Structure 1
């Protein structure tokens, strides 16, 4: 596929995290997420094929007898090829929503969701990661997770998929999951999609005003919605789902997520309507939007295969987890020196073990016992104190404690006069990426070789802490 194609899945459900899947299903009353996600995937396939295969006149002739879906499905046959992750029992799709070129920080991800499908057990899980979570970004260091796509895009602006590739690496490290595919959508694509469908109809539950809605000049403008059924254009629909500071109880993440759910339901109704599927002009308009605003690494046959796998998922087989700093959440609020709001794992800045466990068990506790990606990648680290400050090695180890690393030994170095913290690579099990992440975390030097005075250690890396690394 030449042009990988971004629907702002719009922070999909930034709600209170419930670790138990049973409790989660009771807590989330919106049970049409699965068909909506799958409809979005089907829509991608439909408009891609429309764009690539059939002109407007040809499409109009073709629609006379056979259904659009059957025509396109025939064109996109998979030949019984499995999707990535299908044989292992779990397909993970990374959904990214960005502002786009017309917005400040347009490549920062406003939405990060992992959609996981169990093809055998017919289950769907949605795992939402807040954009303010601080994580190690490969080659960059510790940053908010929403910056990964932006860094990747900036480093390789001419390479399609460079941003999602770095976001994928980052999210895989944090969650322990292997990401099989991605879909990315921007705000403009969302608004154009709504407009191309002729608008959507939404029942606004309560009237509200948001006096702090961001305008196009990096300031604020008030937006207001009356209660009752409203016909929304693309721009109004975007305001409805993005509003964060509404009155009348509409200033919470819960209320925002509920509004997003309404919009997705309305989009589902519009995209699946015969008036859309049998209208060549609408299909071609949607295909133009897909080509410009949606990016994915999925091929057409993969989109239809995924739809076939997930189309019969039952409502009670859907589980949603949103990481949060609620009472039962897995995150804690923090700030940096400038007072910027941040989120970190509640167990410690680099301890993502609870997050990984939640991601692993998204489809049920028996789904995946160990991550496919990291089951043989638990790195063994020895930390030695190269100074006269007592306890420095033990204190330093706390910076590295996570399910990525196993601290196998903490001791004193033979010499105690190290001014700089230094790392020695002792095996081929540790990748250059992992070496760089540790180096950035500890502000350490990486030694070009292992000196003879270092004894054989049963470890992948040795870290000798210097006086430059006080804790």
Structure 2
């Protein structure tokens, strides 16, 4: 034995020689078995990558699901517009100035204060998924706030002539009451809100950071006092005149600023907010609506979003976002509900407002085009939605007709008018009394939207809720004197359309009011 040489003890009783030869033989065979073709190696690598990707995607979805907050749908009204009130989808977006969850650092104020809504707009996504319009509501708009649920489970009484932003504060909780705002918008428009999304300061600032900033424009230099009019001095310059890119706190200041431009009203601020959202959409679209770009956006947004249960999971939220990818920037419009000043408040202008809602129900675009089709839902196309692109406004709605006068044949004439516009007339007969001067459209629980649609065909018709189910048209003497139907709106009213902004407009155009 060579000095220093170590002898490995024999195991399992075999000699060193036999172990050596046997080992080489076995290694030779094993080497033959391990020899793999390039195709097999590639398949194994691909399989490994798929496992890693699946695991990563699972982690991402778990992360996003953990971020998402939902509000209690139990606060939604039982008397909602029917799901097929329009063929498109309607999304209510609320900008909350709640100070909870770290928002005080961005917005200032008391972290224990009640939640308020600073901004609200209804996004109507047409059924063709190629057009969309966002309708902004001035926060001082006087509306009717229907019964809303309080934290103790009781319900409020109907409040009339009340500012729309007060709906979010019903219950006086720090998180606000998005269900009450949704009830109010549904009651106002007759459109069913499919989804509601609340964005707070943190979520808004995070979104602008993720996209690398948003291009905005200012018509003049602005100072700290313009953001906070209670300041004793003008303060530092915070925005210079012209185009610039903002993100985070700076972006938040831009959309909140109200004074120092135009008449300093909320109307002017709405115009700048619409321009800002348009620029944000441009950035998102330019980056591409792909999972690679959407996931960071979703991660940032979901941390400070509160949504209805229908969007309460990552797959639903991303699926909805992806469903908007075919909407062209030019076909994405921003308008403001028809309004006028009423003292220090804002009143809705009629009949323009009702014509706006009627046009959206009929899926008519800004320029009067029919953008209808099958309504998309989580469960697939709605069976009650008409697939015909030229479906009339009464499609799928059932009414009965009564003659409220002594003029013979009036109910039959009204029935023909309704049928010509797609309604199904379930019967015609004489009313209990024949002294009706105006036409009266009566509707049961949950049928207000259908009644409003029917009333469009009878100038001066009044709406009347009743306890009996269904919708009934009681024609009056006014219809006997002027039996021609009112023209059905085929486009958004001109005063609204003329002031519309497209998402691809110049960021420096139409930035203020007054």
Q: Which has the higher contact order (CA 8 A, sep 6+)?
A: 1
| Greater Rg by CA | 2
* TM-score relative to the length of structure 1: 0.49
* TM-score relative to the length of structure 2: 0.46
